[in-house]
Amino acid sequence: MSKLKVYIISSTHWDREWYKSFQGFRYKLVKMADKALNTLETVPEFGKFTFDGQTIVLEDYLEAAPENKERLSKLIKQGKILIGPWYVMPDELIISGESLIHNLMIGHKIAAAFEVEPWKYGYVCDIFGHAAQTPQILNGFDIHYAFVGRGTNEHTMPAHSLWRSPDGSECIAFKQNDVGGYGHLSRVFMNKYKTDEEINAFLKGAVEYEKNRSKFPIVLLTDGVDHTDIHPELVDYSKRIEEFFPGAEVIIGDLADMGKELEQYRTDMQVWQGEMIETAVLEQYVITNCLSSRIDIKNLNDKCQSLLEKWLLPTTAFAAFDNINIRKSFEDIAYKYLIQNHPHDSICGCSIDDVHNDTKYRYNQVLEISDIVLEDIFNTYKAKAAGNGPAIALSIYNPLPFERKETVSVEIIFDKDYASQFVEPFGNEKKNSFLLTDQNGDEIPYTITEIKRNANITFNKVDTHTICFNASLVASGITQFKLTPIKDRRRYIGSLNTSARSAENGYISLTIENDGTLTIFDKRTNKQYSNLLFYLDNGETGDGWGYVAPTQDNCILSTGAACVISQTLNSKNKCTFSIIHKMLVPKEMLYSFDKTGYIRRSNELIEMDITTNVSITDTSPAIFVETIVNNTALDHRLRLSLPTKIENDKYFVSQAFCFVERNCGRDNATDNWCEPETLEKPMSGIVGKRNNDGSGIAFISAYGLHECAALDDKKGTINITLLRAFRNSIGSQDQIDGQVQGKQKYSYCLLPLEEKDTFGTMQQLQDCISTGIKFFNTKCSDDFTPSSKSLVSLSGDKDICVSIIKRPEREVANSIVVRLYNLSSKQESTELKFSRLIEKAEIVNLNEEYICAAKFEGNTLNIELEGNKIATYLVKLI
């Protein structure tokens, strides 16, 4: 080996909220930061210090100690304190790729406010596993080094290796050791070693341990354990290490410098491909079951992400071209509230109730800001369409950049004195009579599904009719329809149902079996999938971190529960069945604290109602499902089961900007590890299996569901965790919110697959069901002609998807930013067509910094993306 270089990284791992609330930890933060400033100002030999790769701690500190802003700024500019690259250290496997990008953007903005470059190091020391595309995301901010831990093991990953994303992007990664993790050196500060001899032996052993983990003459010692103070003793300890290892250079320094030194060994490094979700041989748990903790928090997070990514940001960008100018600061405020909920102890649901109450407050701010801004924009559009005639203009907004042909449901507002009404023969319910037409004047069949009389809308009494019909919606814009009152009746008689509990369209047939399970026959592939969609309930003795089954457990199936099946909608374009299971489950876990010491599920049973609404439309092969669980029981886990009958030993799941394939089942060789491998694994809402001929089935969730399990049984079973109700939280056994009592609602679909269905097909469907539509209607004149307007439309290969459309971070007039990603492993091409001519187009990095000019012609941006690549375009329109 060449001359040994020992890097000592001085840090603190700062959980902003966890077993204390934010304010509880901030009080400690101020004391810690005060000491750090004093040390760095008075100990010139001390090198560099970092606040865990986060910048939010700077905001939190200065809000409480504004008098120290100049001192802090001076040390940052001197390079004594490294800041960024993140705003908060996020979870990687639950949140969206756009959230990861925006997190880094905020971190970079805060660094710029201090007039320095952010720390160009991907520090994610305590994340519960790592996403496959993280190296590409980091590279997009000119970050080429990373610090990883949970999800890896020393026997499979050395200290220094190359971490490679599916597209080939790489980071030189340091894998923290399995014993002390990101704070290994801190053991010497915990009074574990009291004498000089003990301290010296520990320091020697720590360096030797790291030398044995690396074939390169560069080792790293870290002291950034949870909420630790700065350690001035590091100066003395670094000198001791130099004495123990003559010729060695010891630096209290910068991980980015270590990464640069390791570049010379890049070609000799082991490669780690993709995600990191290994369970732990020793003590660095990956903590898988956080994926299903506090499902209410996950639901809120996914809804807020969709609202920002698919509604607020693109809509404000489009509105600017109609001279509707919304302050971008509202977007920035909403995004900050969202990202503040993304540290692992927050979004993962493993903190105390006070913390999760705070996260709900922040999510509510996102919802309120977004709703208010969107309402303002839509009111402006509504005013432009308004008139005084008896007709009604219906405007449907599709924010997604591709055309959608869907069966939509909208509510129409009528005056109470609406003139055209009729009553069915021998009936007494009045129905408004009207003609629905599109922009070509063609009549559109519809079905009235609900009527409300004397409804209150903005303090006015009105009548409403909810109708469903097949709509063709333009990409990224508004499609208008016209409702004209007519004197004669309008009925569109037809039906998708084939019996009281079966229906079919041109793609599939659906049967609801006696026990409430589904049988789907795919007409395109001649494949049948049966016994789908039943529920499993068993005991839970774990906490927010992990699921633990009691030794004496039982598993209760919905197939044996009382089941009521009804048809709630039957029309020519949509058919809906309602399935109500009344499951009798144990009321709670019983704990005996006497000499018997038993833990078991109670004999007392409680009724838990599960309502499953299953819909089929004539525009899609998908089965659309809404499950409503009225959770009345305590201490249990509820899962949804899909026995696919597909024998493939692989399954696929979605993740930020990609899909990954995994082996079904679990590795029995991990049985005696500290943390044995679990069947449960992360997903971003999509999981499925395929046969060799390309047929198969995918589960696609709109929001909230991130934990799945693919068994290696003969039935090809996939299970999705709906909720875990637990009584224990970190440091407390009297927390109640982890029991997620009351109604929990889930929206998802089952998509039978044919060979031509790609990952892009599934991703677009998820975008549709998570985004939905927004609509408004207003009176209009008789001569009103419906129209449509689209700003941008995606065409070409379906494996190229749009991640976000937004205004540039550095505002440029008449410009938008579009980010796309390729879900195929091979190069694909597509086009983005704009409603205006393109003046200039650039390819920019994820921080929206110029890379090169982009190809365009007229109003069309020509795009070619390598396999699994993410690309961002800044386009200026005329």
| Domain range list for the chain | 5-286, 292-385, 391-488, 497-771, 791-877
CA angle 331-333-337, nearest 5°? 115
Look over the chain and give the mean of its residue pLDDT values, rounded to a whole number: 95
pLDDT digits (tens, 9 = 90+) for 834-855: 999 999 999 999 999 999 999 9
Task: Say if residue 673's pLDDT is above 80.
Answer: yes
Q: Name the CATH superfamily for 292-385.
A: Glycoside hydrolase family 38, central domain (1.20.1270.50)
The secondary structure element, H or E, covering residue 323 is none
Second CATH level (architecture) for the domain 497-771:
Distorted Sandwich (2.70)
Instruction: For residue 733, name the pLDDT band (cuts at 50, 70, 90).
Output: low
Question: Of the CATH numbers 3.40.50.2300, 3.20.110.10, 3.40.50.300, 3.40.50.10860, which one belongs to the domain with range 5-286?
Answer: 3.20.110.10
CATH of domain 391-488: 2.60.40.1180
pLDDT of residue 33: 97
The topology (CATH level 3) of 791-877 is: Immunoglobulin-like (2.60.40)
pLDDT of residue 863: 96
Instruction: Report which of residues 455 and 682 the model is more confident about.
Output: 682
Judge whether 160 and 216 are in contact, CB under 8 Å.
yes
Lowest pLDDT segment from 456-460, 483-487, 567-571, 822-826: 456-460
Lowest pLDDT segment from 85-89, 179-183, 703-707: 179-183
pLDDT digits (tens, 9 = 90+) for 18-67: 999 999 999 999 999 999 999 999 999 999 999 999 999 999 999 999 99
Contacts of 300 (CB under 8 A, 6+ apart): 359, 360, 363
Could you check whether the bond before residue 682 is cis, i.e. omega within 30 degrees of 0?
A: no
pTM of the model: 0.96
Query: Mean pLDDT over residues 201-211, rounded?
Result: 95
Q: How would you classify the pairing of strands 636-643 and 717-725? A: antiparallel
pLDDT digits (tens, 9 = 90+) for 66-84: 999 999 999 999 999 999 9
Task: Say if residue 283's pLDDT is above 90.
Answer: no
pLDDT digits (tens, 9 = 90+) for 138-150: 999 999 999 999 9
Query: Mean pLDDT over residues 190-219, rounded?
Result: 91
pLDDT digits (tens, 9 = 90+) for 738-797: 999 999 999 999 999 999 999 999 999 999 999 999 999 999 988 899 999 999 999 877
pLDDT of residue 479: 97
Per-residue tokens: 350: 């493993």
Q: Write the DSSP symbol of residue 530.
A: E
> In angstroms, how far is the first alpha carbon of the chain from the final one?
61
pLDDT of residue 189: 85
* Percentage with pLDDT > 70 across the chain: 99
Per-residue tokens: 843: 């390819």
Distances (CA, A) of 396 to 228, 290, 475, 778, 847: 54, 38, 11, 12, 33
- How many Cβ atoms are within 10 Å of 646's Cβ, its own excluded? 25
Task: Say if residue 348's pLDDT is above 60.
Answer: yes
Contacts of 807 (CB under 8 A, 6+ apart): 313, 316, 317, 320, 328, 331, 815, 816, 817
pLDDT of residue 731: 64
Instruction: Report which of residues 742 and 191 the model is more confident about.
Output: 742
Task: Say if residue 244's pLDDT is above 60.
Answer: yes
Instruction: For residue 732, name the pLDDT band (cuts at 50, 70, 90).
Output: low
What is the rounded distance in angstroms from the CA atom of residue 326 to the CA atom of residue 333?
Answer: 13
The upper half-sphere exposure of residue 188, i.e. CA atoms within 13 Å in the direction of its Cβ, equals 25
What is the rounded distance in angstroms from the CA atom of residue 856 to the CA atom of residue 841?
Answer: 7
Could you write out the three-class secondary structure of 625-654?
Answer: EEEEEEECCCCEEEEEEEECCCCCCEEEEE
Judge whether 504 and 570 are in contact, CB under 8 Å.
no
pLDDT of residue 140: 98
Instruction: For residue 427, name the pLDDT band (cuts at 50, 70, 90).
Output: confident
- How many Cβ atoms are within 10 Å of 223's Cβ, its own excluded? 27
pLDDT digits (tens, 9 = 90+) for 682-693: 999 999 999 999
Residues in the chain: 878
pLDDT of residue 191: 73
| Best CA proximity match to 637, nearest among 744, 782, 717 | 744
The 10 Å CB-count burial string (b at 16+, else e) for 700-721 is bbbbbbbbbbbbeeeebbbbbb
Task: Say if residue 268's pLDDT is above 60.
Answer: yes
Task: Say if residue 1's pLDDT is above 60.
Answer: no
pLDDT digits (tens, 9 = 90+) for 552-600: 999 999 999 999 999 999 999 999 999 999 999 999 999 887 777 789 9
